[in-house]
Structure 1
């Protein structure tokens, strides 16, 4: 065991949680053992608070950075939050609807879905071969879980929206959307595989995971030199760059592996557990 306490920031989708919504037993063991050994473990995810489900929270963590840096929370206390303005929400709603792009808007407690998003979810669940797997029923499907916390019949011009996720479209490329909005908003490719390769996430300018990490460290009076970040997606770039040790999963995007300090095994080959052992957290 490492006698010096470390502060570990873990991404969820593709890092802690597999595509079928399951968390490897080895990852659960690693997190719990590391905390028993005195280390601090924080979720650092693109997910909204409402989308961090019980099978994640019951593992046990010391706090959460959610919305890919939209907010930071310890013991239910919000240390930092930067939502989209109503003007930004209005711009995005109009932009996506004009182009028939499905999208989901995330608030603290509920999501709001655009017209057609529910049908997209249903078709995606029905066509997913993993549903026949013994570990995944339709009720357990990640998209079904999102449907359960999404309102589809409310006005889309909502205040207090933290982030908007859009679904890949055949009519409009991710690159085109990025070009249109990157000057006024932060945009990154989606870390949620079920949304497709051309999907993305939009938040306020200046929002990323490292912002939340800095607030956590300042609040707890801890040092950046004791941090470890582990992720797999583009929205993990700032976290991997900022943490003293930035670790990319074996299944991570090539761009993330290129800037990481090291690459561990893929999620389905006990990547988290192996990295925790290597750094003497367990």
Structure 2
């Protein structure tokens, strides 16, 4: 496997030149990796459909909660193009037939998280397998389209009586990021996926844990996996898999961990890596 100092920028007209073994599973982040503005890029959809005809397993690995997974991604799972989905930063993994693994927050964890957000005067939401539940009204609610809004509600007490998996907290500005809170003391962590939004999770939660669960499900070693990503919640995933590919517009911290740096969605970055397998 190439080392991090052997990374290169790749694009539609500059396919990868470093030989690598064909992976047994490929994990894909959704937003700004497969999809832009909530819709999968046509070339990426075509690539997934072509790969589905091979023996390579195809799995989504996202921070999104299950209720707000894009409909086009769900359709690919239902069509057996995708083999499984890891969502909520590894807290919940499933395929077309069953839940592969799930890690609900404990009542103590939900109480602590809610108190930390309230003490910081911040709006937050908890994610269950069926709903996204807000502590109060927030402008981010308007970012979800009409069908998803049916899964959204305001109920600050929901987390105390229902199974939830992660919390998202919404900041008023980029400087207000709960910097003074010692999350480790509470065995929690804050992971940013937007300049003014972050997820609060158990300290051992990560996409990597979900990947290990899915790999065990398919009896495949993580060293035989490839992953594509762009954000800070992909860091643990990149540490785990055998071949880590950062998108061209990925966070600098992620590019440092990547084995390959490819192009953006618009530069056909995924195709630049996968075309040499003569699969797409």
Q: Name the residue aligned to 1:55.
A: 72
1:6 to 13, 20, 24: 24
Deviation at 1:213, TM superposition (A): 1.1
1:184 to 163, 186, 189: 186
SS in structure 2 opposite 1:269?
coil
Work out whether 1:66 is the aligned partner of 2:66.
no
Contact 2:126/2:159 (8 A) holds in 1: no
4+ aligned runs moved over 6 Å, structure 1: none
Flag structure 1 segments of 5+ consecutive residues without an equivalent.
126-140
The 5 A counterparts of 1:156-195 are 156-158=158-160, 159-170=162-173, 173-174=176-177, 176=179, 179-191=181-193, 193=194
2:119 to 98, 106, 123: 98
Contact 1:230/1:249 (8 A) holds in 2: yes
TM-score, normalising length from structure 2?
0.83
Q: Name the residue aligned to 1:237.
A: 235
1:76 to 87, 97, 103: 97
Contact 2:136/2:156 (8 A) holds in 1: no
Q: Which moved more, 1:234-243 or 1:147-156?
A: 147-156
The 5 A counterparts of 1:205-220 are 205-220=203-218
Deviation at 1:173, TM superposition (A): 2.4
SS in structure 2 opposite 1:68?
helix
SS in structure 2 opposite 1:41?
strand
1:249 to 247, 250, 254: 247
Contact 2:23/2:226 (8 A) holds in 1: no
SS in structure 2 opposite 1:164?
strand
Q: Name the residue aligned to 2:58.
A: 41
What is the root-mean-square deviation in Å for CA atoms of aligned residues? 2.3
> Compared with structure 1, are the counterparts of its residues 81 and 55 closer, same or farther at alpha carbon in structure 2 (3 Å cutoff)?
same
Distance (whole Å) between structure 2 residues aligned to residue 278 and residue 227 of structure 1: 17
Q: Name the residue aligned to 1:121.
A: 140
> Compared with structure 1, are the counterparts of its residues 143 and 37 closer, same or farther at alpha carbon in structure 2 (3 Å cutoff)?
same
- Greater helix share, structure number: 1
Distance (whole Å) between structure 2 residues aligned to residue 99 and residue 175 of structure 1: 7
Q: Name the residue aligned to 2:13.
A: none
Aligned residues: 256
Contact 1:102/1:114 (8 A) holds in 2: yes
Deviation at 1:101, TM superposition (A): 0.7
Q: Which moved more, 1:53-62 or 1:238-247?
A: 53-62
Distance (whole Å) between structure 1 residues aligned to residue 159 and residue 24 of structure 2: 42
> Compared with structure 1, are the counterparts of its residues 71 and 121 closer, same or farther at alpha carbon in structure 2 (3 Å cutoff)?
closer
